[in-house]
Structure 1
Amino acid sequence: MADKLERYRDKRDPSRTPEPIPEQPPETGGDDTFVIQEHHARSLHWDLRLERDGVLASWAIPKGLPEDPETNHLAVHTEDHPMEYATFEGEIPRGEYGGGTMTIWDRGTYETEKWSDREVKVILRGERARGRFVLFQTHGKNWMIHRMDPRQTDPLPELAPMTPVTRTRSPKNAEDYSFEFAWGGRRTLVPIEGGRTTVPLLRPLAEGFGSRTAVLDGELVTMSGTEIFIAYDLLYDDGRSLVAEPYLRRRAALEALEIAGPRWQTAPAWRGQPGPVRQAARDQGLPGVVGKRLDSPYEEGESKSWILIPSTP
């Protein structure tokens, strides 16, 4: 009988990697275990593994499971893995095959609806991955994965940025506003999906998001000769649109992301303090402050819910 793990063993040195490398041939189990591992290797991807005849049939999915049945994702069929891999997490040394950090993104049980050499239909029952999916081989060696269920999440919003109206004075009901610096940078909406983004500067930030999908609103600002991204709003988070939510909730969700790094940060904000913030903006040579109504949804284009107050009269 052929050793289903021969390719797996040939690619790994047990003295150099913490991955499980069993010496005994696999034993047939219940064919109902699945695991999805988030793999920060040379390129971020997710590994879907389905128990089949004593091993884990495996596909590397660069963008993760598709949320939208209208969009298929690439699924690269890789070598079978041992069942012990269903619980593996760890650091594969750089330079070794698959070098990088491996963590379990989700695991659970699954039901097989069809299994052939070119098509695999399954129902996943995990904490994060649930629903009907089909993996199918295209021309050549490529595979794709398709969601068969209706979309489970809100679509990513495609919006024009919300902009403030200019006023010379602070609002009388200042306690109903949050005040931030007006940075004078380049306004940028940042979509993050599958650990990737279209903004080159923020690719390392996006990779750190893993499978979490988001749309950030902020500005690219040059400080001391270095361009950084300052995030000050969150329009989409982990499958849910936030544009109809009040600013106060969007701000709390943004702060929960803890965006902080050498080239990106969360904009500071102060509730009900236009005077001190305006003076600080003036001292730092910034163009002004922006007051944002705490109860305002995100509106495309110019909105009276956001007020720009110049640093100088």
Structure 2
Amino acid sequence: MAELRTYRSKRDARRTPEPVPAEGPLPEGNDDTFVIQEHHARRLHWDFRLERDGVLVSWALPKGVPDDPKVNHLAVHTEDHPLEYASFAGEIPQGEYGGGQVMIWDRGTYETEKWTEREVKIVLHGGRVSGRYVLFPTNGKNWMIHRMDPPVSPDADPMPEDVRPIVPEKRARLPQRHDEYGYEFAWGGRRLIAYGERGPARVVAADGRPAKAPRGLGEALGIHRAVLDGELTDTGGDTYMIYDLLYLDGRSLLDEPYERRRELLGDLELSGPHWQTAPWFDDGEAVREAAREQHLPGVVAKRLDAPYRPGKADWRLIPV
């Protein structure tokens, strides 16, 4: 029998904005609502909730809902939540259970094909997620969620595992055809390639060795799967300055022109206490003068229509 005793025992209505309904009979619904909430708690995860017998039966998904039947995702069974939680979004205070920001990532309706203690088979109809899924227990509270339909993107590119960073060639002067290039500061930091896949980022240095990831970077990417290029600098403290995007959500960008990669990187709006999207400009002389004033090594000119490929990228380092 569904109940909310465990849910209430973990929350104090005076301290959390979450709905904490009084004890009493559970409401009756249609058992057809689902919600997925992006939860930036101690560890980023997605809360997957299905309306059933007057409550929201809930699982925590560290990597979200899978979009390919070849890959199952962990689903940790948690306490039932009240139906009112389907519309909850807000900040749970730090120190409280589940402290952190909660956002509604998707919601919609679902159909039940089978519901037993050993198998929950459903069809989702949401704005972002749709299709047939099954959840099944593996060990205690640990369940798995499996997509039963074909992949959402059958032609998706696999995420590259070992990208070698493009090294700019040193030149004495700015390009003559200045309008064919974008211009960035040369930061003089440690080159890092970051791999974000719905969780803590994996970071590799230019020599191929593992490196420490900027704290919170993977969580900032949220549901996105991305490969980033940048440098760890001491600008305002240790800051990862991100200046290229090499892969995004099933699509390799290595053959896309630099200008397009920068546009897509800007759309991610990556800005935080330990990482920033590096600026880029169309005036190389102004960037070189600013670099000189800020005691930076120089300016990097990158051809706008060039891919991220050795020998074709056309990156030029012009010292100040």
TM range (shorter): 0.7 to 0.9
Could you list the runs of 4 or more consecutive aligned residues of structure 1 that deviate by over 4 angstroms after TM superposition? 282-285
Is the Cα contact below 8 Å between 1:195 and 1:212 reproduced in 2? no
Deviation, 1:263, is 2.8
Deviation, 1:59, is 0.4
Q: Does 1:169 align with 2:181?
A: no
Q: Distance in 2 between matches of 1:157 and 1:267?
A: 23
Q: List per-residue Cα deviations over 1:159-180 (Å, max 9, x = no partner).
A: 2222333333332211110111
Q: Does 1:188 align with 2:206?
A: no
Q: How does 1:142-157 map to 2 (within 5 A)?
A: 142-153=142-153, 154=156, 155-157=158-160
Q: Does 1:274 align with 2:278?
A: no
Q: List per-residue Cα deviations over 1:237-270 (Å, max 9, x = no partner).
A: 3444333322112112222333334432222222
Deviation, 1:106, is 0.7
2:159 partner amino acid: L
Is the Cα contact below 8 Å between 1:180 and 1:291 reproduced in 2? yes
Q: List per-residue Cα deviations over 1:98-145 (Å, max 9, x = no partner).
A: 232222111001122222101112222111122222211113432111
1:306 partner amino acid: W
Deviation, 1:284, is 4.2
Aligned counterpart, 1:90: 90
Pick from 227, 230, 233: which aligns with 2:238? 227
Deviation, 1:233, is 0.9
Structure 2 gap ranges (5+): 204-211
Q: How does 1:31-180 map to 2 (within 5 A)?
A: 31-153=31-153, 154=156, 155-158=158-161, 159-180=163-184
Aligned counterpart, 2:206: none
Q: Distance in 2 between matches of 1:6 and 1:284?
A: 59
Q: List per-residue Cα deviations over 1:2-32 (Å, max 9, x = no partner).
A: 4522222333333333322333322442221
Q: Distance in 1 between matches of 2:56 and 2:313?
A: 56
Deviation, 1:230, is 1.0
Aligned counterpart, 1:253: 264
Aligned counterpart, 2:298: 288
Q: Distance in 1 between matches of 2:68 and 2:232?
A: 30
Aligned counterpart, 1:29: 29
> Structure 1 residues 304 and 41 mapped into 2: Cα distance closer, same or farther (>3 Å)?
closer
2:128 partner amino acid: R
Is the Cα contact below 8 Å between 2:2 and 2:55 reproduced in 1? no
Identity %: 61
Deviation, 1:293, is 1.2
User: Match of 2:216, SS?
Assistant: helix
Aligned counterpart, 2:207: none
Q: Does 1:204 align with 2:204?
A: no
Q: How does 1:236-247 map to 2 (within 5 A)?
A: 236-247=247-258
Count of residues paired in the alignment: 307
User: Match of 1:138, SS?
Assistant: strand
Higher mean C-alpha displacement, 104-113 vs 159-168: 159-168
Higher mean C-alpha displacement, 196-205 vs 32-41: 196-205
Aligned counterpart, 2:14: 15
> Structure 1 residues 92 and 184 mapped into 2: Cα distance closer, same or farther (>3 Å)?
closer
Is the Cα contact below 8 Å between 1:57 and 1:81 reproduced in 2? yes
1:139 partner amino acid: N
User: Match of 2:317, SS?
Assistant: strand
Q: Distance in 1 between matches of 2:118 and 2:88?
A: 28
RMSD across aligned positions (CA): 2.4
Higher mean C-alpha displacement, 154-163 vs 183-192: 154-163
Q: Distance in 1 between matches of 2:295 and 2:89?
A: 49
1:156 partner amino acid: M
Higher mean C-alpha displacement, 21-30 vs 137-146: 21-30
1:252 partner amino acid: E
Q: Distance in 1 between matches of 2:19 and 2:243?
A: 44
Deviation, 1:40, is 1.9
Q: Distance in 1 between matches of 2:51 and 2:10?
A: 20
User: Match of 1:203, SS?
Assistant: coil
Deviation, 1:282, is 4.3
> Structure 1 residues 99 and 290 mapped into 2: Cα distance closer, same or farther (>3 Å)?
closer
